[in-house]
Amino acid sequence: MSGLPASYFGPGNSFLEFVRQAAPETLAGVTGLNGQDVAGTSNSGGRPGLAQTASATTIVALAYKDGLVMAGDRRATVGNQIASRDIEKVYPADSWTAIGLAGVAGLSLQLVRLFQLELEHYEKIEGVALSLRGKANRLATMVRAQLDLAMKGLAVVPLLGGWDGTRPRIFAFDVTGGSYEEREYAAIGSGAVFAKGSLKKLHRPAATARTAIRAALTALNDAADDDAATGGVDRARDIYPVVARVDSRGYHRVPDGELARALFSRGGEPKGDRS
Amino acid sequence: MTMPLYVPPEQIIKDRADFAKRGVARGRPAVVVSAAEGVLLAASNPSRALKKLSEIYDRLAFAAVGKWSEFEALRVAGIRYADLRGYSYDRIDVSARGLAGAYAQSIAAAFTGDPKPLEVEVAVAEVGASQAADAVFHVRFDGSVSDELPWAVLGGAGPSGRQALADGWRPGLTLAEAGQLARAALVSEGGGQDGFEAGLLRREVLGRAFARLEALP
């Protein structure tokens, strides 16, 4: 007689913990916890897997008067080649939280899927959503579980921004699972240094959403200017960064038309310090 | 040497069924009704914390009556089943039929194999693109499943709730009408004196379609 296996009736509210027991094969190479390192077994010599994996790039997040903006560029690279011009790296983790990822593309997308499920799973089982700090801590644990892969050069680093019921909060992470709350702005990825320099000048805590969107886009363009692995606004192909707003009404993606207006309403390409 | 007392299998099954039926009948009833706006789930439930209705997945919901600890374990297992299936394949590959089958197997196994049968009845509801595509699976304490009707009455004392729905249900029923029908069925089964719990699988919503309702429509 089949039916639901015993592991389905165990305690706990974590999807990841459950899958580790019930179906570890679906996590192979993702969590680094079950000895099956699929991503690291490709035959590229030297550092395993590195030469064949697409990686992704610059994500910025900044708080404004009554919400936060998170933006990510659209480029994925493999070595010195461009693997994708329209990859998306900013996602809703749930209806109140945005997550962006820098690092190996395949693992990033997998981490997003798992994290989205983790939050949904908890909410369905417990009947209430996790607190924002709870979400950040959960994500930190998931990143830390991938430390083995990070040490092999397959790092994934997320950026989390959410509405905690009264105000926006931003959490940055490192590969060891360290979680750091940022008060005003944060950037991750290969172009983060340039983006942060830009945000330092452009960021206004009391700004409107539109000004914040413009600052985020300008920071990404600054990063794209100096970092080959970050893509800027591609007007020829009409490809814009993914920009998400999280405020008291929750997560919503900003349409490309609004991005174009925020960027170009004063005419001309945005360059460096102008806002 | 003493011989163990022989009890015929018919008697064992009957005793177990009587035991489970009594357990289920002690609880307050719940109903699932397909309506134009979606699939309505309603239960007679005095508790605000211990729920009998639940979201399972995008278009799937769960209703149960009987022993809370037992159907809560089934509810959690159902969420795990759905989430794992959606993760392994795709979100559209999670169906009420699959989950109802898994519940039926588990409940049937407990009915014959466990020290005592589960004192529960559960329903798995799925909202479709049109009302004709709605599905309501009703799994009883012995693991028997039925899905032929666009509504289900779980638990309760007698046939009156089923009669109310059999007489009153028709295709294209509005949510308000379905709410009245659900209320009538629950009350006729002896429920509803101390509050209702209600939820709706909304037909027009993409993604997670289940929403709790403050009151029965």
Q: Does B89 contact chain A (CB < 8 Å)?
A: no
Cα–Cα distance measured from residue A78 to residue A83, given in angstroms and rounded to the nearest whole number: 6
pLDDT in tens, chain B (217 residues): 678 889 899 999 999 999 999 999 888 999 999 999 999 999 999 998 899 999 999 999 999 999 999 999 999 999 999 999 999 999 999 999 999 999 999 999 999 999 999 999 999 999 999 999 999 999 999 999 999 889 999 987 778 889 999 999 999 999 999 999 999 999 998 887 889 999 999 999 999 999 999 988 8
Query: How close A122 gets to chain B, by Cα (Å)?
Result: 10
pLDDT in tens, A72-129: 999 998 888 889 999 999 999 999 999 999 988 888 999 999 999 999 999 999 999 9
ipTM of the complex in this document? 0.92
Q: What is the percent of chain A with per-residue pLDDT over 70, rounded to a whole number?
A: 85
Is pLDDT at A36 greater than 60 in this prediction?
no
Residue A274: what are its φ and ψ, rounded to 5°?
A: -150, 125
Two tokens, residue B89: 């394949």
Q: Which residues make beta-bridge pairs with B138?
A: B123, B146
Q: Which residues are CB-contacts of A162 (< 8 A; sequence separation ≥ 6)?
A: A93, A96, A97, A98, A132, A135, A168, A169, A246
Length of chain B: 217
Distances in Å between the Cα of B116 and the Cα atoms of B11, B29, B108, B113, B121 are: 15, 22, 11, 8, 15
- The model's confidence at residue A26, banded by pLDDT at 50, 70 and 90, is confident
Beta carbons of A104 and A77 less than 8 angstroms apart:
no
Show which residues of A are catalytic: 57
Q: A with B: how many residue pairs have Cβ under 8 Å apart? A: 60
Task: Locate the chain A residue with the closest alpha carbon to B91.
Answer: A117
Is pLDDT at A158 greater than 60 in this prediction?
yes
Domains, in order of start, for chain B? 28-213 (3.60.20.10)
Residue A110: what are its φ and ψ, rounded to 5°?
A: -65, -40
Distances in Å between the Cα of B47 and the Cα atoms of B118, B120, B179 are: 21, 18, 20
- Transcribe A128-179 into DSSP letters: SPPPHHHHHHHHHHHHHTTHHHHHTT--EEEEEEEE-SSSEEEEEE-TT--E
A18–B80 C-beta distance less than 8 A: yes
Cα–Cα distance measured from residue B180 to residue A116, given in angstroms and rounded to the nearest whole number: 37
Beta carbons of A52 and A84 less than 8 angstroms apart:
no
Neighbours of A264 (CB within 10 A): 14
Q: Which of B55, B84, B108 sits opposite A23 (nearest CB)?
A: B84
Task: Locate the chain B residue with the closest alpha carbon to A118.
Answer: B83
Query: How close B129 gets to chain A, by Cα (Å)?
Result: 23
- Transcribe A23-62 into DSSP letters: -GGGGTTTSS-SS--SGGGS--SSSTTGGG--EE--EEEE
Predicted pLDDT of residue A47: 42
Q: What's the whole-number average pLDDT of chain A?
A: 86
Report chain B residues whose CB lies below 8 A from the CB of A120. 83, 208
Provide the 8-state DSSP code for A103. E
A124–B79 C-beta distance less than 8 A: yes
Two tokens, residue A138: 């959960």
B56–A4 C-beta distance less than 8 A: no
Predicted pLDDT of residue A56: 66
A3–B106 C-beta distance less than 8 A: yes
Q: Which residues are CB-contacts of B167 (< 8 A; sequence separation ≥ 6)?
A: none
Cα–Cα distance measured from residue B66 to residue B55, given in angstroms and rounded to the nearest whole number: 18
Beta carbons of A247 and A263 less than 8 angstroms apart:
no
pLDDT in tens, B113-134: 999 999 999 999 999 999 999 9
pLDDT in tens, A191-218: 999 999 999 999 999 999 999 999 999 9
Give the mean model confidence (pLDDT) for residues A235-246: 95
pTM of the model: 0.90
Helix (H, G, I), strand (E, B) or coil at B141: coil
Instruction: Return the CATH superfamily for domain A56-263.
Output: Aminohydrolase, N-terminal nucleophile (Ntn) domain (3.60.20.10)
Report chain B residues whose CB lies below 8 A from the CB of A26. 84, 87-88
Cα–Cα distance measured from residue A17 to residue A33, given in angstroms and rounded to the nearest whole number: 11
CB-based burial, B121-132: b 16+ in 10 Å, e otherwise? bbbbbbbbeebe
Two tokens, residue B209: 């379609």
Beta carbons of B27 and B155 less than 8 angstroms apart:
yes
B73–A124 C-beta distance less than 8 A: no
Predicted pLDDT of residue B106: 96
Report chain A residues whose CB lies below 8 A from the CB of B117. none
Helix (H, G, I), strand (E, B) or coil at B30: strand
Beta carbons of A27 and A19 less than 8 angstroms apart:
yes
Two tokens, residue A98: 């945005």
